Structure 1
Amino acid sequence: MTMAAKAVERYRGPEYRRLLQAARRRLEGNGGTLEGSIGVGDPDEAERKALIGITGRPRTAGTLARAARVLEFLTTRPEDDAEITLAGLAAKITGHPKTLDHPAGLSTLVLRALAIRAGVPAPGTAEERRELWDRYEVVVDDLASRILVLNLPAEGEGLGEWLTAAARFGTPFQVTLHQLGTFAITLRAPVVHVCENPAVLRRAAAELGPDCPPLVCTEGRPSTAFHRLAGTAVHGGARLRYHGDFDWPGVDMAGAVARRYGAEPWRMTAADYLAGLANLGDLLEGDEHLRLTGRPVPAPWDPALGDSMREKGIAVYEEAVAEPLLADLGG
C-alpha cells in the first residue's frame, strides 16, 4: 500500500467521521476557502485523541484560526507572486515575526497541513522543514535555497562575474537565493535548458564542458532560488526548455514551469516516455521503485503522455533518458 493510500485509510475510522463532516460543511458553506475554524462538540476520548494526532497537541481556537489564515494565504496566492520570508509571513498573519518558528505549535500545525496537501510525510528535521516551506516559496534560509547552473554567463558585479568565469571553464556553479538577492544580474541567453536531476548536468559538464549551452538543474522540486533565476532569465528574453522525471510529480512540475514562465516541455512527450521505457529493458523486472504512485497529473502539452503513463504504470527517471538530452545539448 502506498503512503498516500495509507494516509487515506487512516482517516476512515469512526473517530474522524464527525470532524471530517464538519470540515466538509465548512468548505461547502464558504465556497471551498479555508476561512474560519471547525470543531467537534463534546468529543469522546477517541475523537479527542484523533484531533491531537492531526494537530500534534491540543490546540486553542486562536491557534487553529491563525493556521487557517496561513494556509489560505499560501494556497491561494498567484503562482507568480513574490516569495516571502518565514518571519514576514508570521508578521503578516499574526503580527509577530516569531510565531511560525519551530517548534511553535502554529508552525507544527501548518507544516502538517502543508505536508498532507503536498502528499509528503510530515517533516521531522530542519532540512525537511526548510524544503517544505520552500515548496510554497516561503524562505526560511536564503543560503539553503539554491539552484545548480552550468554555462550561464551574466552581466553584473559579483554574481554576474562569477557566473561568467564559471561558464568560461565549463564548470557547474551553485547559486543561492542570498546571492540572487544581493547582486543584480542580467541574463542574455536566448535559450536556457532546465533539467531535474544533477546527474544530467554532471554528464553535460563532463562531456561537453564549455560548449554546453546554458543549463540549470532544479535538483528536484524547483526552489525559490530557481524561480528567482528563471524570472530573471525570462525577463532578459530567454526561452526555457524544461525536462523532468516521467512520474506524476515530474509531470506536475513541468506543467507548473510551463504555465508560469511559458517554458517549452523538452523531450516530455508520450513518444519520449515510451522510448525511455524501452531503454529500461530488464530493469523493469520486479523493481518496485519504478512503479508509478500517487495521483495522475494531466500533461496539457501532450495528453497522450498521461494516457501512456497510466497504461504502463512505470516511472522513467531522467537518468534513463540522458542520452537524447545530451545529444540536444551537444547539437
Structure 2
Amino acid sequence: MTKAAETYERYRGPEFRRLLAAARRSLERNGGEIEGSIGLTNPTTAERNAVIGITGTYRSPDIRRITIPLAALEESIRNVAGMSLRDVLERIGPELRFRADERTTLEQARQRILAEGETSPLHTEHSWYQQWLAGLASDGTITGLINKKDTHLLSQAVRVLEFLNSRPSGSPPVMLPSLADATTGDTKALNPGRGSLPTLVLRALAMARGMPLESGAEARRELWDAFDVIVDDLASRVLVLNLPATGQGLGQWLSDAARYGTPFHITLHQLITLPITVNLPTVYVCENPAVLRRAAGELGASSPPLICAEGRPSTAFHRLARLIVDNGGLLRYHGDFDWPGIAMTNALRTRYGAEPWRMSSADYLNGVRADIDHVPLDGKPQDTLWDPRLAETMAREKLAVYEEAVADNLLKDWAPAAHRPTEVSG
C-alpha cells in the first residue's frame, strides 16, 4: 500500500471523522487559512485518544468537550503524512468550497447577467421589464439559474420578450412553436414543463399586464393569447347556442346552427383562421354547460344567444367575448352562487363590462329555498358590488347554490319571443 493510500485509510477512520469535518468547516469559512481552534463535544474514547496523539496533551476520560488549535492538527498531519491538512481533506473529498470566494463569484455573475438584461431596449422603454429583472434578482431566480448553469435561459427569455414587443400592431397571431424556434432555435423550448424558460417569459408578460402569474394550463394559455401567441388552438374551445355571425366558414356554420337551435363548439383555431363578426345587442353567458343543454332542448331556436364559460373561461371564450363586446354587444352573466362563481362574475364585469343577471340577493335566497342539496359555502368571500346585500346574505346563509339548481328560472326569462336571435346570413 502506498503512503498516500495509508494516509487516506488512517484519516478516514471514525476517530478522525468529526475532527476533520470541523476542520473542513473552518477552512471553508476562513478561505483556507489555518487559524483558530476546532472542537468536539462528548468525544468518544477513540476521538479523545486521537487528539491526545495529535497534541501530546493528556485529556481526561470524563471531559465533555475537547478543543484543538487548527495549527496543531496541520502540524501533526504534515509530520505523519507529509502533506497538508487541505491536501488530506481534498483527498478524502469532496473538494473544499471557500464560501467567501463563492459569494464573490456568485455576486459578480449576478451583476453580469443583470447588466446583460439591462442592455435590452425594453429596459428603457417599459417599467414592467425593469420590475421583472429586479424581481428575478431579489427572489433568488437568477442565483438559481447560475447554480444550475442555466443563465442562457434569461438571455433567451429577453429575446422572446423583444420579439413580442417588436411585432407590428395588427400582426397575425404566432403559434408557440414558431415563436420558440424564432427566438431559441428549438420549437419546444417554450412548451409547458420545459424547465424555467416558459415561466420566466410568462412572469414578464403577467407584469406587463399588471397581474399576478396564475397557475394552471388555461390561465397560462390565456396569458400567451393576450400577446397573440397561440399555445393550442384546437384544445381551447367555447360552447355556444344561437349565436349567428357573419364571415365565411365559421360565420356560416354558426348561423346555420342558430337556425336549428343546435349547440356548437367553436375552437380557438376557427376563431383565428375564420374571422367572424357578431352583431348582437345582448348575449347571455352561463357557467354550466348543463344549463345551455337545457336551453337547447327546451327552447331550441327560440333561445336567446348564449355562450358558456364551462367552469373556467377558456382562451377561446375570452377571444369570442372580446369580439362581441368590441362590436357593441352586452354580456349578461349568470353563474354559481358560490365564492368562485362570484369571483368569475367580478372578473367578467371588470374585463368586459358584463352585467350580472339573476345574481341578486333575492335570486340567491330563492335558490336556497328551492335547492334540496344544501351544499356548504366554502372558499374566500368576495365582494358583490352590483348588489352588496348578496355577499352579506351568502355569508349569513353559508350555502352554495349551483346554476343548474335555478335553471328553471333562467329558462323562463329566455322563453319569450322577444329574446329570439336575429338570423344573419353567412
- After TM superposition, the score normalised by the length of structure 1 is 0.67
Q: How does 1:145-156 map to 2 (within 5 A)?
A: 145-156=236-247
Q: What is the alpha-carbon distance in structure 2 between the residues aligned to residue 91 and residue 165 of structure 1? A: 40
Please state how far the C-alpha of 1:178 moved relative to its aligned partner.
0.6
State the AA in 1 paired with 2:378: L
- Given the alignment, which residue of 180, 187, 193 partners 1:103? 193
**Is 1:314 matched with 2:399?**
yes
Please state how far the C-alpha of 1:176 moved relative to its aligned partner.
0.7
Q: What is the alpha-carbon distance in structure 1 between the residues aligned to residue 395 and residue 151 of structure 2? A: 44
Please state how far the C-alpha of 1:310 moved relative to its aligned partner.
2.3
- Given the alignment, which residue of 48, 58, 62 partners 2:151? 62
State the AA in 2 paired with 1:136: L
**What corresponds to 2:290 in structure 1?**
199
Answer 1 or 2: higher relative contact order, Cα 8 Å, separation at least 6. 1
Contact kept in structure 2, 1:291 and 1:313, CA below 8 Å: yes
Cα pair distance change 1:318/1:137, threshold 3 Å? farther
**Is 1:304 matched with 2:393?**
no
Q: What is the alpha-carbon distance in structure 2 between the residues aligned to residue 274 and residue 60 of structure 1? A: 59
Q: How does 1:280-295 map to 2 (within 5 A)?
A: 280-281=371-372, 283-284=373-374, 287=375, 290-293=376-379, 295=380
Cα pair distance change 1:311/1:65, threshold 3 Å? farther
Q: Which secondary structure does the structure 1 equivalent of 2:137 belong to?
A: coil
Q: C-alpha deviations, 1:106-152, integer Å up to 9, x for none?
A: 168669999x964x6xx6xxxxx3x3423535432111111111011
**What corresponds to 1:327 in structure 2?**
412
* CA RMSD across the alignment: 3.8
Contact kept in structure 2, 1:258 and 1:264, CA below 8 Å: yes
Q: What is the alpha-carbon distance in structure 1 between the residues aligned to residue 151 and residue 233 of structure 2? A: 30
Q: What is the alpha-carbon distance in structure 2 between the residues aligned to residue 230 and residue 90 of structure 1? A: 28
Contact kept in structure 2, 1:83 and 1:224, CA below 8 Å: no
Q: What is the alpha-carbon distance in structure 2 between the residues aligned to residue 242 and residue 106 of structure 1? A: 37
Contact kept in structure 2, 1:133 and 1:140, CA below 8 Å: no
State the AA in 1 paired with 2:319: R
Please state how far the C-alpha of 1:92 moved relative to its aligned partner.
9.6
Structure number, greater radius of gyration: 2
Contact kept in structure 1, 2:285 and 2:307, CA below 8 Å: yes
Q: What is the alpha-carbon distance in structure 2 between the residues aligned to residue 96 and residue 217 of structure 1? A: 36
- Given the alignment, which residue of 231, 238, 260 partners 2:329? 238
Q: What is the alpha-carbon distance in structure 1 between the residues aligned to residue 278 and residue 224 of structure 2? A: 22
Q: What is the alpha-carbon distance in structure 2 between the residues aligned to residue 326 and residue 67 of structure 1? A: 52
State the AA in 1 paired with 2:414: L
Please state how far the C-alpha of 1:98 moved relative to its aligned partner.
3.5
State the AA in 1 paired with 2:405: A
State the AA in 1 paired with 2:312: R
Please state how far the C-alpha of 1:33 moved relative to its aligned partner.
4.8
Contact kept in structure 2, 1:69 and 1:93, CA below 8 Å: no
Q: How does 1:95-174 map to 2 (within 5 A)?
A: 98-106=188-196, 118=214, 129=217, 131-138=218-225, 139-174=230-265
Q: Which secondary structure does the structure 1 equivalent of 2:371 belong to?
A: helix
Cα pair distance change 1:251/1:182, threshold 3 Å? same
Cα pair distance change 1:67/1:317, threshold 3 Å? farther
State the AA in 1 paired with 2:309: T
Q: What fraction of aligned residue pairs are identical, expressed as a percent? A: 48
Please state how far the C-alpha of 1:89 moved relative to its aligned partner.
7.0
Contact kept in structure 1, 2:156 and 2:183, CA below 8 Å: no
Cα pair distance change 1:64/1:184, threshold 3 Å? closer
**Is 1:229 matched with 2:229?**
no
Q: What is the alpha-carbon distance in structure 2 between the residues aligned to residue 39 and residue 163 of structure 1? A: 49
- Given the alignment, which residue of 259, 272, 275 partners 1:184? 275
Contact kept in structure 1, 2:241 and 2:264, CA below 8 Å: yes
- Uncovered stretches (5+) of structure 1, i.e. residues with no partner: 1-29, 41-50, 74-81, 124-128
Q: Which secondary structure does the structure 1 equivalent of 2:384 belong to?
A: coil
Q: C-alpha deviations, 1:24-66, integer Å up to 9, x for none?
A: xxxxxx9x955433467xxxxxxxxxx9xxx9xx855738968
Cα pair distance change 1:308/1:91, threshold 3 Å? farther
**What corresponds to 2:364 in structure 1?**
273
Q: What is the alpha-carbon distance in structure 2 between the residues aligned to residue 67 and residue 269 of structure 1? A: 49
Q: What is the alpha-carbon distance in structure 1 between the residues aligned to residue 391 and residue 323 of structure 2? A: 31
Paired residue total: 264
**What corresponds to 2:306 in structure 1?**
215
Q: Which secondary structure does the structure 2 equivalent of 1:174 belong to?
A: strand
Q: Which secondary structure does the structure 1 equivalent of 2:400 belong to?
A: coil
Q: C-alpha deviations, 1:182-225, integer Å up to 9, x for none?
A: 11211122210010110000000000001111111111211111
Q: C-alpha deviations, 1:260-289, integer Å up to 9, x for none?
A: 2221111112221222122223x22xx5xx
Cα pair distance change 1:94/1:217, threshold 3 Å? same
Q: Which secondary structure does the structure 1 equivalent of 2:280 belong to?
A: coil
Q: What is the alpha-carbon distance in structure 1 between the residues aligned to residue 385 and residue 186 of structure 2? A: 42
